[in-house]
Amino acid sequence: MIYVIGTGPGGLDEMTPRAFEALKECEIISGYEKYIELVKNFLPGKIFMSYKMREEVKRCEEALKISRDSNKKIALISSGDPGVYGMAGLILEMSEGSGEEIEIIPGITAANSAAAILGAPLMNDYAVISLSDLLTDWSVIEKRLAVACEGDFVIALYNPASRHRPQNFERACEILLRYKDPATPSGYVRNAGREGTEFEVMTLENIKACKKIDMLCTVIIGNSQSKIINGKLITARGYKVI
């Protein structure tokens, strides 16, 4: 049996009770090394399998093998939600025809934990776009950015910039600036719900040049109805406010 578990942004307080119960039930916990470190302390007595970035296929192969050969319960963990750029899709694809039982347990995704810290920017329709071009062509990402702007969506950006492709974020902002007002309220949260949380609300023009944006950040770019009130980023839904 394989549980694919969303552990939320980081702390135990933002993990669902269902996710925690499932983790406690599993003998083996497998995941990206950074996420394993986040859960290790509150799960004594487990066997942990830590993997590097880009070893997702290997992680699934080994989980399927362990589950088949040993009948042990194994948890494949993802931070946030496992169905949002996490392990859920891959393990379901790879287990096709194996007869393996797989249960997906959701978690709070980064867009939601970041939104709560910034204010209420996702109050109306929004699009989630990853700037990672490891598995998606950059031309497709550019198109998605453009059409999300045409629809006046609020946009949550995951994987905004890495050491290997630091320029992606700035390039993405240049596309957004073709459609959106440079003064569009925006913000980022670094390490939402984890030690070292940092966040800032600013304009789209300023966030483009912000040097703090890295892979530990989620960036939220407002739409034409977004505003800043008392330092909070809010997207108005259209209620009449006195």
Which of the residues 14 through 73 are near ligand SAH (CB under 6 A)? none
Residue 155 β-bridge partners: 127, 221
Which residue's CB is nearer to ligand SAH, number 90 or number 236?
90
Residue 197 burial (C-beta neighbours within 10 Å; 0-12, 13-18, 19+)? middle
Q: Does 80 bind ligand SAH (CB under 6 A)?
A: yes
Question: Whole-number minimum distance, CB 5 to ligand SAH, in Å?
Answer: 11
Look at residue 84 and give its three-state secondary structure. coil
How far are the Cα atoms of 50, 65, 124, 154, 199 from residue 120, in angstroms, in the given order? 35, 43, 9, 11, 14
Question: Whole-number minimum distance, CB 191 to ligand SAH, in Å?
Answer: 5
Among 47-55, 144-152, 156-164, 167-175, which window interacts with ligand SAH (CB under 6 A)?
156-164
Q: Does 81 bind ligand SAH (CB under 6 A)?
A: yes
Residues, the chain: 242
- Contact residue for ligand SAH among 22, 74, 76, 84 (CB under 6 A): 84
E-strand stretches of 110-153 = 119-120, 126-130
Contact set with ligand SAH (CB under 6 A) = 9-10, 78-81, 84-86, 109-110, 114, 158-160, 189, 191-194, 215-218
